[in-house]
Chain A
């Protein structure tokens, strides 16, 4: 199943939720819609499912226009953030629901339904819990029931709204890998909404980063992480320090430092913002060349040492990461004066940062 959304607009009571979204997902792809809350990602997912309808734009499933089809006709599996299980039905009844409500002539016989339900429950590793009620299950188990229920109708597309949002960290990680395997085994086309960049980076084939009703960038995890198209994407994916700069003929001037900015060969003396990841900040001796800064706080716990520094020039706070046991680690102590250089920055002229 190929999904194509083309110029989708949607507003609620005059407030625009989506302003011209283009997105496509091809068969077998696992696509993440990533963005902060209010960015429109859930609205987009609900429009794909037929639970909301776009004000304008085209929506094609395998090239066929489904814009006027309701949720029940689209053959879409939807997993809700809070699972939306039927509380008064057992796990097996929940899973079989989509089969039981089929029109009489398309409804499989009871024995077939039972067999399919058992297979699905085995697939989601709940084979012994068919008689339980949702209230008797853990969060992770409920999540898997919701998934089995959605898969029962053999959907061409699987849509998941914050699928791991309500789970604790450990369960979340396990379930994530399991879901990815399931997706691959079943050759599904899946889209999921998340605000957790780590989740999107680990799970998805492609990530659509959304902000303010628009898609800022679509690409593989490596593309969006390593070559963010906009300042928003850069800041949203991972920690970033923000430094004012001037961009001129493919170079960016940050204070006294001159750094390559090859994306902007055409700009002449424009103001802009340079982003640098904490691990690309290099702390040097106070006498060395670079931006002067004072060490404020040091956090030693964790995979690397995190250092908070204040720039002498304007008091701006920066965050740096130093590997444990590196020479730079010797230099830092609270209140010590150091200099900063950076290996890699990404500069955006001001208009694009707005």
Chain B
């Protein structure tokens, strides 16, 4: 042996065949992170910075404002109606699609996803076209003295529309993956349909359901475009939190706008954390490929 080559130094010197040089790697990480910082992190931080720019006292004053509380209450109310409705729909649709074979099944699945490809403004517009003063049912509703547009009902309808697919699109693939063997076994052992659903199906999809509810709720509370169209911006009556942010901002009450915005941003962070926890802990029990 004339030369004493090798040793760990050699291995470190040569690059694995399927990665980039450290320089390229570093540059890519830096570029990606700079982009994330500029587009995502900065706006998030700025919400809280602006909200607190006048000190804590101003912040709490803005948050404690009666109109703000009205907006919070209304947002919670709308979400409390819209989310359960979509949960019931999601469970029903998933049960029908995953446990049975019938004609038109994939058409149904396609239609469920439809609201995702519709602009928020159009999501509001369609209800105005139906129930607005000049809408299809407008005159009839006026006759009956029922108000849907510029009313809480309209807000709920628009919110239900934009959050329509969340629960169903999480549950359908999950329940399809799980098949129908367990339910068939339960039924053959004499369990009733409800008991089978309650004790067999639901525990299997509980985490997926929670995941869907989480996303559904975040969108329900944060929706702006659709509810903006149907709301009429009546303070104290049809003003949800996102709409209230807009009103305050347009009145140049920036601290107030950002204070309310920071509550919504807080909700977004909680949602992201909960969502990540669900994915890390129960990723195998969520539907494959539905990680967002």
Asked if A and B form a direct contact in the complex, defined as CB atoms under 8 angstroms apart, the reply is yes
Chain A residues at the B interface, C-beta cutoff of 8 Å: 6, 50-58, 65, 67-72
List residues of chain B with CB within 8 A of the CB of A72. Answer: 17
When the two chains form their complex, are residues A65 and B14 in contact, meaning their CB atoms are under 8 A apart? Answer: no
Question: Chain B, interface size: which category?
Answer: 10 to 19
Instruction: For A58, give its contact among B6, B8, B16 (CB under 8 Å).
Output: B6
Say if the beta carbon of B7 comes within 8 Å of chain A.
Answer: yes
Instruction: For A71, give its contact among B11, B13, B17 (CB under 8 Å).
Output: B17
Given contacts A53-B14, A67-B5, A70-B14, 16 further A-B contacts (CB under 8 A): A6-B1, A50-B14, A50-B17, A53-B11, A54-B6, A55-B11, A56-B8, A57-B6, A65-B3, A65-B5, A67-B10, A67-B14, A68-B14, A70-B15, A71-B17, A72-B17
Instruction: For A68, give its contact among B3, B10, B16 (CB under 8 Å).
Output: B10
> Which of B14-71 touch A at CB < 8 Å?
14-17
State in angstroms the CA–CA spacing of A14 and B14 once bound together: 19
Distance of A12 from chain B, by nearest CB (Å): 12
Q: Which residue of A lies closest to B3 (CB)?
A: A65
Distance of B74 from chain A, by nearest CB (Å): 53
Q: Which residue of B lies closest to A57 (CB)?
A: B6
When the two chains form their complex, are residues B17 and A51 in contact, meaning their CB atoms are under 8 A apart? Answer: yes
When the two chains form their complex, are residues B7 and A56 in contact, meaning their CB atoms are under 8 A apart? Answer: yes
List residues of chain A with CB within 8 A of the CB of B7. Answer: 56
State in angstroms the CA–CA spacing of A57 and B4 once bound together: 9
List residues of chain B with CB within 8 A of the CB of A53. Answer: 10-11, 14, 16
Q: Which residue of B lies closest to A65 (CB)?
A: B5
State in angstroms the CA–CA spacing of A57 and B7 once bound together: 7
List residues of chain B with CB within 8 A of the CB of A56. Answer: 6-8
List residues of chain A with CB within 8 A of the CB of B8. Answer: 55-56
What is the predominant secondary structure among interface residues of chain A facing chain B? loop
State in angstroms the CA–CA spacing of A58 and B14 once bound together: 14
State in angstroms the CA–CA spacing of A57 and B9 once bound together: 12
> Which of B258-276 touch A at CB < 8 Å?
none
Distance of B10 from chain A, by nearest CB (Å): 5
When the two chains form their complex, are residues A54 and B11 in contact, meaning their CB atoms are under 8 A apart? Answer: yes
State in angstroms the CA–CA spacing of A280 and B179 once bound together: 55
Q: Which residue of B lies closest to A53 (CB)?
A: B11
Distance of B9 from chain A, by nearest CB (Å): 10
List residues of chain A with CB within 8 A of the CB of B10. Answer: 53-54, 67-68
State in angstroms the CA–CA spacing of A54 and B8 once bound together: 8
List 29 A-B pairs, Cβ < 8 Å. A6-B1, A50-B14, A50-B17, A52-B16, A53-B10, A53-B11, A53-B14, A53-B16, A54-B6, A54-B10, A54-B11, A55-B8, A55-B11, A56-B6, A56-B7, A58-B1, A58-B5, A58-B6, A65-B3, A65-B5, A67-B5, A67-B6, A68-B10, A68-B13, A68-B14, A69-B14, A70-B14, A71-B17, A72-B17
- List of 3 A-B pairs having minimum Cβ-Cβ separation, nearest first: A53-B11, A71-B17, A56-B6
List residues of chain B with CB within 8 A of the CB of A55. Answer: 8, 11
Q: Which residue of B lies closest to A8 (CB)?
A: B6
List residues of chain A with CB within 8 A of the CB of B16. Answer: 52-53
State in angstroms the CA–CA spacing of A55 and B8 once bound together: 5
List residues of chain A with CB within 8 A of the CB of B11. Answer: 53-55
List residues of chain B with CB within 8 A of the CB of A50. Answer: 14, 17
Q: Which residue of B lies closest to A51 (CB)?
A: B17
Q: Which residue of A lies closest to B12 (CB)?
A: A53
State in angstroms the CA–CA spacing of A68 and B11 once bound together: 7
> Which of B81-106 touch A at CB < 8 Å?
none
State in angstroms the CA–CA spacing of A51 and B11 once bound together: 11
State in angstroms the CA–CA spacing of A83 and B271 once bound together: 44
Distance of B80 from chain A, by nearest CB (Å): 49
Q: Which residue of A lies closest to B17 (CB)?
A: A71
State in angstroms the CA–CA spacing of A104 and B7 once bound together: 35
State in angstroms the CA–CA spacing of A65 and B14 once bound together: 13
List residues of chain A with CB within 8 A of the CB of B3. Answer: 65
When the two chains form their complex, are residues B17 and A70 in contact, meaning their CB atoms are under 8 A apart? Answer: yes
The 8 A CB mask of B197-210 against A (1 = contact, 0 = none) is 00000000000000
List residues of chain B with CB within 8 A of the CB of A70. Answer: 14-15, 17
Distance of B59 from chain A, by nearest CB (Å): 50
State in angstroms the CA–CA spacing of A58 and B10 once bound together: 10
Distance of A17 from chain B, by nearest CB (Å): 13
State in angstroms the CA–CA spacing of A57 and B1 once bound together: 11
State in angstroms the CA–CA spacing of A244 and B5 once bound together: 46
Q: Which residue of B lies closest to A7 (CB)?
A: B6
> Which of B156-193 touch A at CB < 8 Å?
none
Distance of A63 from chain B, by nearest CB (Å): 11
List residues of chain B with CB within 8 A of the CB of A54. Answer: 6, 10-11
Q: Which residue of A lies closest to B8 (CB)?
A: A55
> Which of B139-169 touch A at CB < 8 Å?
none
State in angstroms the CA–CA spacing of A71 and B5 once bound together: 19
